[in-house]
């Protein structure tokens, strides 16, 4: 199985299967390392300047996930090969037919039973 289905249709060019997850651990590590290393070593004002820099990076990453679907997929999704493991898909339209979008996948239990029996 592949992660990309090339449709080459009039509106949809290809579909990428994705599994949504939350990667908040890098910022938890950054804030924790700030608390452990920067706060004891620097002055109060200097420590908050470093915290402002970390917070600015955090805000920029959040805004990039709002602005770019590809960056959002990089940060919040991982590729899967099986449609049963996917809970979202990235739709790439053909040229001049819209913009990329991440769409949630919902499975109906009856169709899953039929596909698994088949």
pLDDT for the residue numbered 64: 92
**In the chain, what are the helix, strand and coil shares in percent, each to the nearest 5?**
50, 20, 30
pLDDT for the residue numbered 7: 67
pLDDT for the residue numbered 109: 67
pLDDT for the residue numbered 117: 46
Max Cα–Cα distance, the chain, nearest Å: 67
Per-residue pLDDT of the chain (118 residues; tens, 9 = 90+): 556 666 666 777 777 788 887 777 888 888 999 889 888 888 889 999 999 999 999 999 989 988 998 888 888 888 888 877 888 888 888 888 888 888 888 877 666 554 444 4
Query: pTM score, two decimals?
Result: 0.70
């Amino acid at each position: 199985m592949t992660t990309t289905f090339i449709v080459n249709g009039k509106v949809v060019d290809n579909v990428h299967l994705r599994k949504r997850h939350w990667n908040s651990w890098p910022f938890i590590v950054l804030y924790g390392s700030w608390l452990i290393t920067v706060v004891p070593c620097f002055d109060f004002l200097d420590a908050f300047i470093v915290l402002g820099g970390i917070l600015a990076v955090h805000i920029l990453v959040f805004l990039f996930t709002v602005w770019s679907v590809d960056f959002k997929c990089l940060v919040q999704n991982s590729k899967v090969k099986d449609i049963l493991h996917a809970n979202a898909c990235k739709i790439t339209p053909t040229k001049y037919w819209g913009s990329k979008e991440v769409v949630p996948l919902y499975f109906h239990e009856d169709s899953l039973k039929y596909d698994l029996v088949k």
